[in-house]
Structure 1
């Protein structure tokens, strides 16, 4: 195993995370995740509830990163406006929205019974 190559690959991955953080929607997801984590601490979730919360936060952030990557590749491949380029970007954004909405529903199912 080439440790130098392995470390470089981690560097690229961390740079990808840093790059994604410059996107407005990613910052919104991160702020939302911080709020949910604080609410989770204050609510006193069980270990299983924590696992679910961590999983949905990770899914939303991961989906947003994939969406950002798709948008970047589409912009490179089709700098001019093209219906298929728009469709690809819209579908990727829609996937993030579906996962984000599911995470809100999951959060409500976890938090509402504990709060009310």
Structure 2
């Protein structure tokens, strides 16, 4: 194995470990994963088009990424400033707000995609 391949493998293992940690430790990430799984199941049941799947996958990805970044920011702030501090609270609240925006956007995308597909069943 070349050094370049080994570095890629090591980097991938660190990234995978980060994903495993957020899944194990972060309740909100777990909730987003369960929601994503339910959306994916509903998508298969409704027979979404390729374009609809593209939007669903992007929306799910953005929400999960936002939640991971939010969790990282929260951990950093707890490490740097373990006591309650107004600036730390603002930083954490802003990161959480980013997740909320991503989740609301994903929800709206879901409405645009799923409502017509559900109506078409009747």
Equivalent residue runs for 1:20-59 within 5 Å: 20-21=22-23, 22-59=25-62
Measured on the aligned residues, the alpha-carbon RMSD in Å equals 0.9
Which of these residues, 84, 103, 106, is aligned with residue 103 of structure 1?
A: 106
Runs of 5+ consecutive residues of structure 1 not aligned to the other structure? none
In structure 2, the residue matched to 1:3 is 5
TM-score, normalised relative to structure 2: 0.92
Q: Which runs of 5+ in 2 are unaligned?
A: none
Based on CA coordinates, which of the two structures has the bigger radius of gyration?
A: 2
Structure 1 runs of 4+ off > 2 angstroms? none
Q: Does 1:112 align with 2:87?
A: no
TM-score by length of 1: 0.97
Partner Cα distance (1:76, 1:3) in 2: 33
1:10-21 equivalences in 2 (<5 Å): 10-21=12-23
Deviation at 1:110, TM superposition (A): 0.5
- Is 1:61 the counterpart of 2:55? The answer is no
Match of 1:106, SS state, is: helix
Measure the CA separation in 2 of the matches of 1:2 and 1:111.
44
